[in-house]
Amino acid sequence: MNPKENKQKIQRRQRRHARIRAKIKGTLAMPRLSVFKSSQHTYAQLVDDINGKILGSASSLELKKTRSVRATKTKAASEVGKLIADKAGKKKITKVVFDRSGFKYHGRVKALAEAARKAGLHF
């Protein structure tokens, strides 16, 4: 992919993200579960938009420190989903609003969401 096409792809995702963010807001009772994926890692954050606070975060970088076995990026994303659900459970958060950040709902984003649901988060 040439640099111009890559820039356009990023801009399209950012426009989708802006449309999504205009519609959803996270609160203390029901925070926003924001997902970001880079080329190598997957990140998730619980955000209270009303107070502007990050309530919890998880990433595949945390898993990399604890595990020596290299998993696929999709498996790592599902582990991040479990990890963020555990952190949310410790803060007594059971319901969240899912923010896919303009990424399509498949692959790593879908794996993270389904793992978080199985671990007890409702959205």
Nearest Cα to 28, choosing from 86, 82, 96?
Answer: 96
pLDDT at 76: 93
pLDDT at 63: 83
pLDDT at 1: 78
How far is it between the farthest Cα atoms of the chain? 46
Domains of the chain, each with CATH number or no CATH: 3-118 (3.30.420.100)
Number of neighbouring beta carbons within 10 Å of residue 100: 20
Average pLDDT, 10 consecutive residues per value, the chain (123 residues):
89 95 93 96 96 95 74 92 96 96 96 97 94
Q: Which residues of 26-35 are buried (b: 16+ CB within 10 A; e: fewer)?
A: beeebbbbbb
